[in-house]
Structure 1
């Protein structure tokens, strides 16, 4: 049996919820399920994805609009104080949702973040076309991180920590200066723990074209002069051209 794509369902649910928000209306689980052709009890799975996105992007709690037949919020709702639902609803109703792209647009044709990340690893996708389809920065960075986790076998390229919650996707050419292709290019990324990511972004730790680590004199670390840990697949190694350009930029 084919696996259910909750991201694709979230894509459909997003536009329905936005329409309700604009019209200052709530929607029941049954109404939402019927609109998407799914059982109302299955709504909690894709609503969880929408709720997480709104929390991560610091948006009003869009899923507060979904209620049971008695008009009550579901148990899975954690994005707002349930003792102050009226204020949460007003924040959703008054927000200008027309300025927000559907963050699940990438899933409109049945794609998933994991599937797209694998295509990035396998060089099976046009990065510029993909970025145009993703549009939302938070979603693009999430896909980018998934790809780098796979490329670096879930280990920081500097200290080799394997604590996944600490691992982050660092851009060599910073996001603000990257082309549309570079924003999702695994060769323009390095998997780093949160501490080394901050030092790297600040220019206090850098890498030369031979993949050796250098640090500002104020930074005391045993990493200086060592070679960073590279992906096993040479096709996924950091771009030497990007490393040189980064040194010029900082």
Structure 2
């Protein structure tokens, strides 16, 4: 991660809402509350006071100043979207020139109101031994049932590796293919205390109230990763039914 010179870059309210909507669609880590953005004045601009290149993966994290009280917030957006943001011109007499609406429209790569998704390029080097280490930790048995057929066992990431780059055993759990699919879809959840929550809509049964843990405590699933995955699954579920 490194700092980017963001001097002069700013959002209009329209651009800010569009960028935040994109962050929601693209499931980026830092988003802003939609209700708060809607409440902002239409005639003001919102400068970027800090920009960070997120490990050169095509994503920029910006810190935005909202008002004179120094209310600030972080938002993740694609590098392409960041580069298209307008730049204010600071004159020697202290005045500031903003980009005109016509110029903003001309420079837009995407038409207003058009929905699109820009994928974040995650340059994650996967550990080829991840599956072997996870299956060994769980003694080649699904953590939610009795299945121990290695041909149908999956080393599932608790929190997606493309979001965190974590290929340690503590971010893995051994599941059979059926439970892996249910966990991936969010039909089966696991709390940070390892308790299993089987949604009413899930047709896949589980054998335990909690996941079966590895014998070695050093291989236990990370409670932080479990909680991150739980929040991610609940968020997706709420978005689907909102």
TM-score of the two chains, using structure 1 as the length reference: 0.41
Give the structure with the higher percent helix.
1
